[in-house]
Structure formats: C-alpha cells, structure tokens
C-alpha cells in the first residue's frame, strides 16, 4: 500500500497505534464477558448441586443454552446489517442480557430457564456485532487488524478471568444467586462503556437506512418497534427449546444448511474469488467446530472433573471447582500480548503462517492438552484425584491453541466477507461455534458413568472414564490438526491473498 493510501485509510491516531475505538470496545466486551462467563461458570454446578439435575440432564441444558447463545448471532447479525445497525443492536443486547441475569435471581428452574432465554436473545444482538465494529475500524489490507483482534481478545479474556475468579468464588462460597447478581451488574457496566465510547467508532455501526428505521411501517409501528416486538416474542420460543434440548440439534442442522446455501449462493454470484473464499470459509468452520467441541468441555465436563477428581488445594487454600476455569483466561492474559506482537513481527519478516496452518497448529495443541491427563495419572492420589497442575497444563495448551484460532478466525471473517455481509458472515462463524457447543454437550455425556441401581458412580469409576474419554479426544484432535497442516497450502490458495 502506498503512503498516500495509508494516510487515506487511517486517521492520525491510527497511524501511531490502534484506533481509539478499539479500547472502548475492549472494555465493553470485557464486562459483557464478565457477565457471560460468570453465569456460565456457575451453571453446571447450579444445575447439579442446587436443582439436583443428573449429569446428563445438566449437560443437555448447558449444551442447548451455549449453542443457542451463539446460534442467534446469525439472526442478530442479519438484523443489525439490514435494520438496526451494530450500535443499536449492541445496546439492546446489553440491556436484555442484564435483565436475564436478574431474572435468574428469582430462584428455581422456571426463573433460571426464563433468564437464560432472555440472555440468549440479548447475546444474539451483542456478540457478533461488537466484533464486526472492531473489524470495520481497520481498512482492507491494514496489517494491524490481526493484532487489533488479538488485543480485543485480551479484553474478552480479562472479563472471563474476573468472572472465573470473582463471580465463581463468590457464587461458590456465598450462594449462586450472588454470582448471578454480579454477572448482571457487569453487563450494565459494559453497556454504559459502549454508549460513552460511541464518538470513537468513526461513524461505524450506524443504521443502514436511518431515515426508514423509525418511519411507520405497519400502522403506527416502525421497523424499530417491530424488531423489539419480535425479540420479545422469541423469548418464549427459547424457553421451550431449553426445555426440549434435543430439538436444538435439529434446529442447528437446519439453520446450518440454510446459512451454507446463502454463503455459497453469494459466493457463486460474486465471481471466482468470492466463491473460493466462501468455500474455504465453510471448510474452516467445520474445523472450527472440532476445536470448540473439545475446548468447550471447560464449563461442563472439565468442571465436574475438577469437582470430583482434582485436588484443588492451592497454597493451602481450596479453590472452587468453577474457579478452575480461570486458567484459560489467565493464560490468555499472559500470552495474548505476546501473540499480538508475534503476528506483526512474523508478517514483517515474511514468516507468518497462513490462516489454515494456524488452525491446524491450534488443533494440534488442543489435542496435546488432553493428553496431559496421561501425565496427571502418574501422580493420582488414593482417592483418585490428580494434582491441580494437570488442569493447569491442560488449559495452558488449550489456551495457546485458542490463540491460533479464535482471534485469527474473527479477523479472517471480516477480511473474507463482502462489506454488505459482514454481520451475516460473522453470524455464520458464530453458528459454527453454536454447533460446536451442542456437540460438546454430547461429548460431555460420554464422560459420565451411568448410575447402577440409583447408586452414584464411585470416584474410581468416574476417574477411569474421564481419563479414557479425554485421551481419545486428545489423540483424535491431534490427528485432525496434522491433517489440516498438511492441506493448509491448497486451502490458503482459495483465499486469494487474504492473510
């Protein structure tokens, strides 16, 4: 890019560093993740210990919830693209998520499911669209984009770190309702930060047709009013789906077919380059499902594994099972800035791995993380508990693998998507994560041992099954990662210069 183009593409502040808007979005997303991961971290324990659900029932509810949270970003992204704009969508999403957290405080299964249904509606508007604004702060060809998304991803994990330490410990020690309350307060703070940062978003995220947004369309009702009414009408639908989790799988499959058809249709209509880019995007979404299906055991089976078969004593202090999830965001905070600098440096010297290669390396590290369990069993105690360092090493490798995939994937979507489809394509990307979360629940069920005559499984039985399943997951994902590394070059050609 010529010097003139650089000056045209970036403001003075941008040429010296990242756009100021990035940092406002950083803190808005930090508090939103504080809310989401705080609630998610406590959910499986709340289901099994307070509502007295079986492992399989809890995994089904957990999987349906986390899948729907990401699936609705497809619709949320499309509504933002075509009606609301990203800013209004994000503000609406933040308000709904806070309301959902506070509804859970009613106590009992009804209020939990209702609150989760409202959170799902809000997350659909918030999650994909804030990432879209981040991408639009950078012009095409700006080498800082991957670095910017990695910085943004540090904000995600700073929120997750606070959630899995503060919210998880408060919830475990003083009552789950206190944890859910803190999560709701965090979402309010995130919404406030986003609103006050709007002047720094450089005109991005505004409604696509502001003159028609508030114009009456059906009687006195405008498109804005109809969108709000439609959102409220979706809440009871999500409530029913959470109570019938098996339906979610069929819904996800049907939605995936529809989204893939739309992506391919847009690709073939847009010429050879866009066609190839949509093909490689779909293929990488499949590998993305494999990664997150295994990675997302963190909030479900790995949390129950920590509760039942991990010695959680740390410097004379026993941490809660939910708190063990803090290792992942902790390592992100350690390695995130290093990776951010590393990608820029590797680009400068011409050694930056292509995107499919990064995905393959991420899967390889994920698999090696699960194989750490074989090290842990060498130090198992008489009561079938492995040392805490087993989880620490597992999460460390999962985290470095995540840094090869998640921020890179977000950045990739904003590069591959046509300007008028950014929110829709970002929603499709999150749909792959939704599918992964549903598959994750099915994998989590494999780690359980069926009760025999109503008698819960012994510590030894549960330990043996956890080790067997996690080892198999490790070996399979290592193999898939190696396969992707091998085919990374031909896949990279389909991206036609996107790096």
Through-space distance between the first and last CA atoms of the chain, rounded to whole angstroms:
15
User: Residue 2, by phi and psi: left (phi above 0), alpha (psi -120 to 50) or beta?
Assistant: beta
Assess contact for 164 and 323: CB atoms under 8 A: yes
What the block records as the tokens of 116 is 């989760």
Q: Which residue has the tokens 């409220």?
A: 232
Q: Quote the pLDDT of residue 454.
A: 53
Q: What 3-state class would DSSP assign to 498?
A: coil
Q: Which of 53-62, 187-196, 419-428 has the lowest mean pLDDT?
A: 419-428
Assess contact for 445 and 59: CB atoms under 8 A: yes
* Tens of pLDDT, residues 180-200: 999 999 999 999 999 999 988
* Tens of pLDDT, residues 396-408: 999 999 999 988 8
**H-type alpha helices, 137-199:** 145-162, 168-174, 176-196
Domain ranges of the chain: 17-448+458-493
* Tens of pLDDT, residues 461-496: 889 999 999 999 999 999 999 999 999 999 999 998
Q: Quote the pLDDT of residue 429.
A: 85
**Percentage of residues in the chain with pLDDT exceeding 70?**
95
**H-type alpha helices, 80-167:** 86-104, 109-136, 145-162
**Percentage of residues in the chain with pLDDT exceeding 90?**
65
Confidence of residue 153 (pLDDT cuts 50, 70, 90): confident
Confidence of residue 13 (pLDDT cuts 50, 70, 90): very low
CA distances from 54 to 60, 102, 179, 450 (A): 10, 25, 22, 10
Across-strand partners of 124?
A: none
**Superfamily for domain range 17-448+458-493:** MFS general substrate transporter like domains (1.20.1250.20)
pTM confidence score = 0.86
d(CA 429, CA 423): 10
Q: Quote the pLDDT of residue 16.
A: 55
pLDDT at position 321 over 90 = yes
* Tens of pLDDT, residues 78-129: 899 889 999 999 999 999 999 999 999 999 999 999 999 999 999 989 987 8
């Amino acid at each position: 890019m010529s010097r003139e183009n650089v000056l045209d593409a970036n403001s003075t502040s941008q040429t010296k560093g990242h756009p100021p808007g990035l940092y406002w979005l950083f803190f808005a997303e930090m508090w939103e993740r504080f809310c989401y991961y705080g609630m998610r971290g406590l959910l499986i324990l709340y289901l099994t210990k307070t509502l007295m659900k079986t492992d399989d029932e809890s995994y089904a509810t957990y999987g349906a919830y986390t899948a729907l949270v990401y699936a609705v970003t497809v619709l949320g992204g499309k509504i933002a693209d075509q009606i609301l704009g990203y800013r209004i969508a994000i503000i609406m999403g933040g308000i709904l998520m806070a309301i959902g957290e506070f509804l859970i405080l009613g106590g009992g299964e009804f209020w939990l499911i209702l609150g989760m249904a409202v959170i799902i509606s809000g997350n659909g508007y918030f999650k994909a669209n804030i990432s879209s604004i981040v991408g639009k702060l950078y012009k095409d060809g700006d080498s800082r984009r991957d670095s910017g998304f990695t910085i943004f991803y540090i904000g995600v994990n700073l929120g997750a770190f606070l959630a899995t330490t503060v919210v998880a410990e408060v919830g475990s020690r003083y009552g789950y309702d206190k944890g859910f309350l803190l999560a709701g307060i965090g979402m309010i703070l995130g919404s406030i930060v986003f609103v006050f940062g709007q002047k720094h978003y450089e005109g991005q995220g505004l409604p696509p047709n502001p003159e028609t947004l508030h114009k009456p369309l059906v009687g006195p009702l405008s498109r804005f009013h109809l969108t709000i009414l439609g959102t409220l009408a979706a809440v009871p639908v999500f409530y029913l789906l959470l109570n019938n989790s098996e339906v979610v799988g069929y819904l996800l499959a049907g939605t995936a077919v529809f989204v893939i058809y739309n992506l391919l249709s847009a690709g073939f209509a847009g010429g050879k380059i866009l066609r190839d880019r949509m093909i490689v995007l779909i293929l990488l979404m499949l590998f993305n499902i494999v990664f997150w299906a295994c990675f997302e055991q963190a909030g479900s089976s790995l949390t129950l594994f920590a509760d039942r078969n991990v010695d959680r004593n740390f410097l004379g202090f026993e941490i809660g099972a939910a708190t063990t999830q803090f290792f992942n965001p902790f390592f992100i905070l350690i390695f995130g800035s290093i990776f951010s600098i590393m990608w820029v440096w590797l680009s400068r010297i011409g050694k930056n791995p292509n995107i499919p290669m990064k995905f393959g390396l991420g899967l390889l590290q994920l698999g090696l993380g699960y194989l750490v369990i074989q090290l842990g069993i060498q130090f198992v105690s008489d009561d079938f508990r492995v040392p805490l360092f087993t989880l620490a090493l597992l999460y460390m490798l999962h985290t470095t693998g995540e840094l090869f995939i998640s921020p890179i994937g977000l950045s990739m979507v904003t590069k591959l998507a046509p300007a008028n489809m950014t929110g829709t394509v970002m929603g499709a990307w999150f749909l792959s994560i939704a599918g992964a979360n549903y598959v994750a629940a099915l994998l989590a069920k494999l780690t359980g041992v069926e009760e025999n005559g109503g008698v819960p499984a012994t510590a030894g039985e549960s330990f043996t099954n956890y080790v067997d399943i996690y080892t198999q997951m490790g070996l399979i994902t290592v193999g898939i990662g190696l396969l992707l590394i091998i085919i990374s070059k031909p896949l990279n050609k389909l991206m036609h210069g996107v790096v």
